[in-house]
Each structure stands twice: as structure tokens, then as C-alpha cells.
Amino acid sequence: MKYYNKEIETMSRDGLFVLQSERLVNAVKRVYENVPYYCAKMDAIKLKPSDIKTIADLHKLPFTVKTDIRANYPFGLFGVDKKQVVRLHASSGTTGKLTVTGYTKRDLEDWSECCARALVSAGIDENDTVHVAYGYGLFTGGLGLHYGVEKLSATAVPVSSGNTMRQITLLKDFGATALACTPSYAIYLAESMKEAGVGVDDLMLKTGIFGAEPWTEEMRAEIEKKLHIKAYDIYGLSEVSGPGVAMECSARRGKHVYEDLFYPEIVNPDTLEPLPYGEKGELVFTTLNKECLPLIRYRTRDICTLYLEECECGRTLVKMGRIEGRSDDMLIIRGVNIFPSQIETVLLNIGGMIGPHYQIIVDRQGSLDTLEIQVELSDYAFSDEVREIEKVKARVAHDMQSMLGVSAKITIVSPHSLPRSDGKAKRIIDKRK
């Protein structure tokens, strides 16, 4: 079994507890002394850095949310002097206010190592060529994995997102063995290759590293079928670091969290009470070694489960399950909680006449919420008789009712008619807002 950092990745739980505790104590002291926001929040609850002695004391600390970062725009939550900042990234949001994150040299080293660990977990080594189709620039995805590839001494192709035909040409001509992008873009690439007459066997791809948006096991199967690769799930978020916070190993049963650097918790999103391993709730992270933007108990809004189990890969790090959705993306339709991932599961389990692309439209008629799901026909099904298409429509409606517990209007649309994205797929249009 290969590891990038065997000492950390296979460390005993007792040893990890000691390391996490040391780093948490230092982190709390650092934010109290250097970040006025955290100093004020701790003073408000009469909490001193000396009250934090081990990682078991984490629950005493206050939470941080994304609006706190935006309220302190641009550098109000930075824990170092500006001269120590060597890189800035930012992401936009629905409010238009940027979420800014910064990095010191040590932060970039930690991030690069995390991405190198992730690549090795997927079986990638110095002999591989990695086609990085995440966005480069202010978005963290591209540069994060790029530096991980270089740290591993593999070959990086910094193609970024967009210009799909060029992507296909480079995949073929450069002989990439690994693809890194969003899962929805991987599907789009496969469709575009077929249209361009480029066969999967014309490529040398064997591995895919996909993240930046929730995706299902059904989507994994679809990607693997279309691209003839082994697909791995990577997790990260810009505020905490970027991609490489957690990554699947060869077992592909959950993502190992690099908890020497990012301590995870699961909390009840309503009460904020910590939940034990195995229970589903909102994922919360505390950065243990971050210098520029240290975050204490940052609420990700991602819904998942953490669990400890002996893993065949030998790694002892805690695992997180698939992201089932975001607490702020959850749709409440006539009192029923619905996540887009549930809809995706239904559609991809049907397969055949329908493709993997869909859009969810939520509206309100009077006092009643309405749910419409637009689904694309597959290419070969477009010419089928109307009655066959109606049968598929009826099955989709039935399976959605069974899965969601509410009825939905199913609209079958022609192939390639729904919008595509070279980044994160935009699945939901909520007209109630």
C-alpha cells in the first residue's frame, strides 16, 4: 500500500489525539492574540485560551459561519501580517460579496501535501500525467491540485475549465492518465467526445478525481461507464483550504479526512449540538495548522456522516460519507425535506432513455409549493415513439414520488437542451425567493 505521508496517515488514534490537541491549543492562542473577531467572541462567553487544553475541549469554542468571513471582508479574519501572505483566493456568493482566503508559505505547503496525499490515495504516482480541468485563478480548485501534482513529481496539465474541444485534444495528444474536474463536467466531456468522434479507447485515462459539487454513486457508475476510468471522490472547500481536505482511498467507501490539519465534527444543524460518529448532520471544521485564515468550528452547511472503521488501505484517519446536500440547499416542499442528490439517484437508476442531466424548478401557486423536474432524453431515445417516452415519464414520476414523498411534475426535454457548466452544475431554480 502506498502513502504520501505514512506516519500521519497511519498514526494511532492516541497519537493523533496528542497531535490534534497540541495544534488546537496553539491555534486558539494564535486567533485570540491576532484576530480581533475571535478575541471578541471568546471574551463574550468568558472563554480564555488557557481553558482549551485538549481537542476534547473544542465544544467550548464558538462557531464561525461564512457571513462572518464576508462581514470582515477582505482581511479582517487574517491571523498574520499582510507581508506574510503569499497568495489570495476568493469565491463569489449569492450576496455578491467575495469570500476571501489567504495563504502563507506554510499554508501552501500544507495544502500541497494534502493534495499529494489525495493523489496517492487514488493510485497516482510520479509516472502519471494529470489533466487539471478545475478553474484556475481566484477559484482554489485548479491551483490546489496542480501544486499537489507537482509535489508528487507527476506531470500537471493546467488546462483549467472551458473550451471543451481543446480539452479533448489535449487529453488525447498529451496522454493524460488522470482527469481532475467536477463530475458534471466529466459527463459533459464524455458526451462531447462522442459527438466529436473521439473514442474513449483513444485516450490513456485510467483515473478520475472529482469533487466541488455533491454527486452520487449512480453518477460515479455513469462516469466510469462513459470514460472507462476509476472515479474517486475528493472533498474540500475554499474557506478551509481548497481541495484535499478529504479523499477516498482504494476502498472507495468514504473519504479519509486529513484530521492532523482539519478537525471534523458533525453537529445537529438546528441545535448545533455535537453528534457521535455514525449520525448524520452538518459538517464542521476547525483548522489546526492554518496561519493566514485560521477558522474555529466553521459550519460548512454540508450534510454527511463521520465514522471510524478499520480500513483495508491501512489509513487510520476518520472517514466522511458522501455529501448528501447542503443545509442551505435543502428544499422544503410541502413540509418534506428534499436534496438534489435524491433526485439524481432516481434518474440515474432509471437510465436507458434518459440522460444524467436535469434541472429542478420550484415555484408557488397560491399557498402551495410546486416541484418540476426537467429531464433530458438520451440521444438514442429521442427518435422513439411518443408512447415510449410517456412510459418513461410515468416511471420517473412514480419513482420520484416513492423516493421523495411528494409528487413532482416531470418534463421530458430533448437531448442537450438543458444548460451545461464547465464548473459546478446549477441544478436548482427556486422561483419562491
At the second CATH level, the architecture of 1-327 is 3-Layer(aba) Sandwich (3.40)
Asked if residue 146 has pLDDT above 60, the reply is yes
Distance CA 259, CA 287 (A): 9
The confidence score (pLDDT) of residue 267 equals: 97
Task: Indicate the burial class of 335 (C-beta count within 10 angstroms; 0-12, 13-18, 19 or more).
Answer: exposed
Q: Is CATH 3.30.70.360 the classification given to domain 331-430? A: no
Cα-based torsion angle of the residue sequence 347, 304, 112, 64 in order, rounded to the nearest 10 degrees: 130
Cell numbers given for 52: 482549551
Q: Which pLDDT score is estimated for 150?
A: 98
Cα–Cα distance for residue pair 95/131, rounded to 1 Å: 32
pLDDT of residue 380: 58
- Cβ contact 138:90 at 8 Å: yes
For residue 331, the cross-strand partners are 338
Helices (H), 216-338: 217-227
pLDDT tens sequence across 156-181: 999 998 899 999 999 999 999 999 99
| Distance between CA atoms of residues 421 and 300, nearest Å | 23
Residue spans of the domains in the chain: they are: 1-327, 331-430
Average pLDDT over residues 291-295: 98
Residue 235 grid coordinates: 472533498
Q: What is the value of pTM for the model shown?
A: 0.82
Q: What is the pLDDT of residues 312-364, one digit of tens each?
A: 999 999 999 998 877 766 677 766 777 777 888 888 887 667 877 889 898 87
Check residues 54 and 214 and name the one with the higher pLDDT. 54
Give percent of the chain with pLDDT exceeding 70.
Answer: 94
- Of 262-266, 275-279, 379-383, minimum mean pLDDT range: 379-383
Quickly state the pLDDT bin for 95 (edges 50, 70, 90): very low
- Using an 8 Å Cβ cutoff, are 400 and 409 in contact? no
Angstrom distance (rounded) from CA 203 to CA 206: 9
In angstroms, the Cα distances linking 119 to 38, 106, 130, 189 are: 34, 20, 10, 21
In sequence order, what are the residues at sequence separation of 6 or more whose Cβ sits closer than 8 angstroms to the Cβ of residue 26? none
Is residue 74 over pLDDT 70?
yes
